[in-house]
A and B are shown apart, each in its own frame.
Chain A
Amino acid sequence: MSGTALRDERLPCGARLAELVEQATDDAATDTAHQAGCLQCRAVLDRLRAIDGLLARLADEPVRLPDRLVRSVMRRVRGSVAAGWLTVARTGRGATIVSGQALVAVIEWVGRDIPGTHHLRATPRRALDRRGRPDPDAPAVVDVDLVGQYPEPLPAVAAAVRYTVRELLEDLAGLDVDVDVAVTDVNARDE
């Protein structure tokens, strides 16, 4: 969208845009004699100053933190703590373990390509034992939160995600997991 380089762009009157930008942001600078009489320069300077005014207004605009944010962050953090390490193989000569985080990365990477998912998050966790602590012997569960892409039917998308994630973890790590899918939102914009 930028045809000419900034340093080369000139107004029809010959003034350089780069210099006007410099001047508009420097409160101490005073307009030159040429600019005082040049309508083009005046217009550009006014516009540049108007943009700075807009930036100041945008900076002052209150932004409301989505209510869900803190909760969803803590949910994922708790999930990563609970998932910790998953044992994928136990042999007579030692065990192989994989971190929950490693699996998250792969699931999200693969999950992006499943049709109908606009966005996808995975959180592995252990089923909890009776005292509410992660049970190392219980099967792993992967919670998948996704944003669907309109108009793909959500049950079919969820089923495709469950199938794909189960296959992936079976192939990759020999893990047999349950996959709980939550559709948190649907995106209706064209992508």
Chain B
Amino acid sequence: MVARARTGDLAAFEILVCRHGPAVYRVALRLLGNAADAEDAAQEAFVRAWRRLDTFRGDAALTTWLYRIVTNHCLNLRRRRPPATERLPETAVSPAPGPARTVEARLELDALRRALTRLSAEQAAALVLRELEGCSYAQVADILGTTVPAVKGRLHRARAELYRMMREWA
């Protein structure tokens, strides 16, 4: 499919977008924290992928390559537009009426989502790829252009930072 897309076959590329769209969008959503920015970043990532298909080397898995493009793009956006100290709620936060436990569980998840957008961009990227997308350490290192020990260090610091941000809620 990649080979066909490389020759300019739009239908083949569309299949790739459908197939990998969810993963690319998820990463953008977790790193940027809101649906509108995520949709835009995912769109941009695929357009860049299209332009650079000829640079895709078959030795890297396509998913790794797409993860790299979307992650880099989101990290650049975050650096360019540092998150406001406290952004307004990204999604409709008013919890649906329901058992108190469900509401509490949703608020905890919302707190985590917000915390992810406030971590340093490098830490957030490592955490999202490893813990949310389930990439291996080696894959994360490859995507972020660094080493496995560096990835482990970032994950470690990311956890400590999450703890510091989230220790207030109990």
Residues of A within 8 A of B (CB): 1-2, 6, 9, 17-18, 21-22, 24-25, 44, 47-48, 51-52, 54-59, 61, 63, 65-66, 68-70, 72-74, 76-78, 80-81, 101, 119, 121, 147, 185, 187, 189-190
What size tier do the contact residues of chain B reach? 35 or more
Chain B nearest CB, measured from A26 CB (Å): 11
**Chain B residues whose CB sits within 8 angstroms of the CB of A56 once the complex forms:** 131
**Chain A residues whose CB sits within 8 angstroms of the CB of B40 once the complex forms:** 119, 121
Q: Of the listed stretches B11-19, B62-70, B94-102, name the one at the interface; the rest are far from the partner chain.
A: B11-19
Can you list 7 pairs linking A and B with CB atoms under 8 Å apart? A2-B161, A21-B160, A44-B163, A47-B163, A58-B132, A65-B21, A69-B42
**Chain A residues whose CB sits within 8 angstroms of the CB of B50 once the complex forms:** 73, 77, 80
Q: A1-B161, A69-B42, A78-B10 are in contact. List 4 more A-B contacts (CB 8 A).
A: A51-B162, A70-B17, A77-B13, A147-B36
Most buried by A among B14, B39, B132, B163: B163
Taking the complex as formed, is B164 at the interface, i.e. its CB lies under 8 A from any CB of chain A? Answer: yes
Taking the complex as formed, is B112 at the interface, i.e. its CB lies under 8 A from any CB of chain A? Answer: yes
Which residue in chain A gives the minimum CB-CB distance to B131? A55
Chain A nearest CB, measured from B89 CB (Å): 9
User: What is the CA–CA distance of A56 and B105 in the complex, to the nearest angstrom?
Assistant: 13
Given contacts A51-B112, A51-B166, A73-B47, whether A187 and B160 have CB atoms under 8 Å apart is no
User: What is the CA–CA distance of A72 and B133 in the complex, to the nearest angstrom?
Assistant: 24
Chain A nearest CB, measured from B78 CB (Å): 15
**Chain B residues whose CB sits within 8 angstroms of the CB of A69 once the complex forms:** 17, 21, 25, 39, 42-43
Most buried by B among A61, A66, A81: A66
B159 touches A21 (CB 8 A): yes
A51 touches B39 (CB 8 A): no
B29 touches A70 (CB 8 A): no
Given contacts A2-B161, A57-B109, whether A70 and B10 have CB atoms under 8 Å apart is no
Which residue in chain A gives the minimum CB-CB distance to B120? A2
Taking the complex as formed, is B113 at the interface, i.e. its CB lies under 8 A from any CB of chain A? Answer: yes
Which residue in chain A gives the minimum CB-CB distance to B115? A51
Residues of B within 8 A of A (CB): 8, 10, 13-14, 17-18, 21-22, 25-26, 29-30, 35-36, 39-40, 42-43, 46-47, 50-51, 87-88, 105, 108-109, 112-113, 118, 127, 131-134, 156-157, 159-167
A54 touches B161 (CB 8 A): no
Which residue in chain A gives the minimum CB-CB distance to B18? A70
Given contacts A21-B159, A66-B35, A80-B51, whether A58 and B109 have CB atoms under 8 Å apart is yes
Chain A nearest CB, measured from B84 CB (Å): 8
Q: Which of A2, A52, A81 contacts B8 (CB 8 A)?
A: A81
Q: Which of B46, B109, B118 contacts A54 (CB 8 A)?
A: B109
B25 touches A61 (CB 8 A): no
A65 touches B131 (CB 8 A): no
**Chain B residues whose CB sits within 8 angstroms of the CB of A17 once the complex forms:** 160, 163
A65 touches B88 (CB 8 A): no
Which residue in chain A gives the minimum CB-CB distance to B127? A55
**Chain A residues whose CB sits within 8 angstroms of the CB of B47 once the complex forms:** 73, 76-77, 80
A63 touches B43 (CB 8 A): no
